């Protein structure tokens, strides 16, 4: 009887092993990845356009008329994080959103040099599009890029509006078990794919109130990040950032001290990636300008996704005030 049970259990384990091995093999082969053409057709809808800047092809949305606002998303996201904010701002401003590579639908065939490379790309884009003075809106690593650009080009930046800001390497954080296991499998066995439930788990963790997470947000996270070849480019970008920015003692702190334009800093008080206790240190680095800080008690890492109406109104009010002061 015991032998039969052991034989039965062994058979089940063998079947489970074969199924798992088959799933991993199919993922490694790229069978689960959405194609670039599919993702482009689905997400590059009007007013999306593709702009060639040197060898790089940028996915851009350019809407509205008036003073220019350029919006830079965070890592592992794309310009869609600003859908709601852009809809609000474009009534009075020209709002330009960019997928900066390696993210979204943009493509840069050259090896990444990290954030300095994105700053250089933005410089070329601004020159090519003949853009004059503008406000930079950034989220997380997009905020860091905004600071680097403003330090190099004070004559072109009117103001900075940043939502969560890492000026030095973000602290290590403990992620949900599902996300951690998924990342382990990704890093060791399936380097070119992460399943939808990984993004569901990770985004729920990044939200202060998980019920605010929309299924469509999970979908575009999943589809745009799983475009074939993206993970290899992202890893290269991360490694370049360690050398270019995060290995420095002060990270981007020296550049922050060079910024002289007004700054709005919006921060979710329950952000698990960039905790609220980092705010005072970030503000202190801006030694030559004023920083207005707005806290959101039950918001996590993405104010523009989680609480778009309230945070968007605060953003627009601030930008309106900046322009009003310039007219005095």
Question: What is the per-residue pLDDT across 26-77, written as a single tens digit (0 to 9) for each?
Answer: 777 778 899 999 999 999 999 999 999 999 999 999 999 999 999 999 999 9
- Backbone phi, then psi, for 288, in 5-degree steps? -120, 25
pLDDT tens readout for residues 239-278: 999 999 999 888 999 999 999 999 999 999 999 999 999 9
Q: Which of 23, 16, 18 has its CA nearest to residue 185?
A: 23
Q: What is the CATH number of domain 36-173+216-327?
A: 3.40.50.1820
Do the Cβ atoms of 319 and 135 come closer than 8 Å? yes
User: What is the DSSP code (8-state) at residue 77?
Assistant: -
pTM of the model: 0.94
96: helix, strand or coil: strand
Cis amide prior to 47 (ω within 30 degrees): yes
302 torsion bin: left (phi>0), alpha (psi -120 to 50), beta (else)? beta
Mean local confidence (pLDDT), 152-163:
96
Residues 6 or more apart in contact with residue 154 via CB below 8 angstroms: 258, 259, 260, 261
Taking 90 as the threshold, does the pLDDT of residue 6 lie above it?
A: no
Look at residues 302, 311, 292, 301 and name the one whose alpha carbon lies nearest to residue 274. Answer: 301
Mean pLDDT of 163-174: 90
pLDDT at 173 (0 to 100) = 85
62: number of Cβ within 10 Å: 17
Listed by start position, the domains of the chain span: 1-31, 36-173+216-327
Quick one: tokens of 152? 């190099």
Which of 135, 50, 47, 130 is CA-nearest to residue 93? 135
């Amino acid at each position: 009887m015991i032998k039969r049970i052991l034989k039965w259990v062994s058979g089940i384990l063998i079947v489970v092993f074969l199924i798992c091995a088959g799933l991993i093999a199919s993922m490694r082969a790229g069978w689960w990845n959405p194609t670039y053409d599919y993702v482009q057709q689905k997400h590059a809808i009007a007013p999306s356009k593709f702009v060639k800047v040197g060898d790089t092809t940028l996915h851009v949305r350019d809407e509205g008329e008036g003073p220019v606002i350029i919006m830079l998303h965070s890592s592992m996201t794309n310009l869609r994080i600003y859908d709601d904010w852009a809809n609000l701002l474009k009534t009075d401003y020209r709002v330009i959103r960019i997928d900066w590579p390696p993210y979204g639908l943009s493509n840069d065939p050259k090896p990444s040099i990290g954030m300095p490379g994105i700053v250089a790309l933005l410089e070329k884009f601004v020159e090519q599009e003949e853009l004059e003075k503008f406000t930079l809106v950034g989220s997380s690593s997009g905020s860091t890029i905004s600071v680097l650009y403003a330090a190099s080009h004070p004559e072109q930046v009117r103001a900075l509006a940043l939502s969560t800001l890492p000026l030095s390497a973000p602290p290590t954080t403990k992620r949900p078990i599902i996300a951690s296991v998924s990342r382990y499998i990704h890093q060791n066995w399936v380097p070119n794919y992460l399943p939808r439930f990984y993004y569901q788990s990770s985004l729920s963790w990044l939200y202060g109130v998980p019920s605010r997470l929309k299924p469509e947000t999970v979908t575009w996270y999943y589809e745009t990040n799983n475009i074939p070849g993206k993970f290899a480019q992202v890893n290269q970008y991360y490694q370049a950032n360690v050398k270019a920015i995060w290995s420095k003692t002060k990270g981007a702190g020296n550049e922050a001290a060079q910024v002289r334009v007004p700054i709005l800093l919006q921060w979710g008080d329950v952000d698990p990636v960039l905790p609220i206790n980092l705010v005072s240190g970030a503000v202190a680095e801006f030694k030559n300008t004023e920083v207005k800080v707005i806290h959101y008690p039950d918001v996590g890492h993405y104010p523009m996704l989680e609480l778009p109406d309230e945070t968007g109104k605060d953003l627009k009010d601030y930008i309106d005030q900046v322009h009003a002061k310039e007219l005095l």
